């Protein structure tokens, strides 16, 4: 699947620490999660955890 062979590795390389983009990245990542085969779900675990941790943090003032 192209999502896991090309897209996710690019996300990992280039966007992993781009916290300001997490809200924009969540849509394609949740799309991937919704449409992937069960053996690929674990590949999204780290991203889902990062996004959920980021959304649950209190805003910095």
Burial 31-56 (b: 16+ CB within 10 A, else e): ebbeebeeeeeebbeebeebbeeeee
For 24-54, the pLDDT digits (tens) are: 988 989 998 999 899 999 999 999 999 888 8
Dihedral sign (CA 53, 38, 9, 6): negative
Full-model pTM: 0.74
DSSP letter for 41, please. Answer: G
Nearest to 21 by CA among 47, 40, 2: 47
Q: Is the pLDDT of residue 56 over 70?
A: yes
pLDDT, residue 59, reads 65
Contact 14, 47 (CB under 8 A): no
Q: Is the pLDDT of residue 20 over 80?
A: yes
């Amino acid at each position: 699947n192209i999502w896991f062979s090309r897209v996710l590795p690019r996300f990992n390389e280039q966007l992993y620490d781009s916290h300001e983009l997490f809200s924009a990245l969540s849509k394609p990542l949740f799309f991937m999660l919704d449409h992937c085969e069960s053996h690929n779900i674990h590949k999204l675990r780290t991203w889902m955890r990062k996004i959920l941790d980021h959304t649950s943090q209190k805003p910095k003032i």
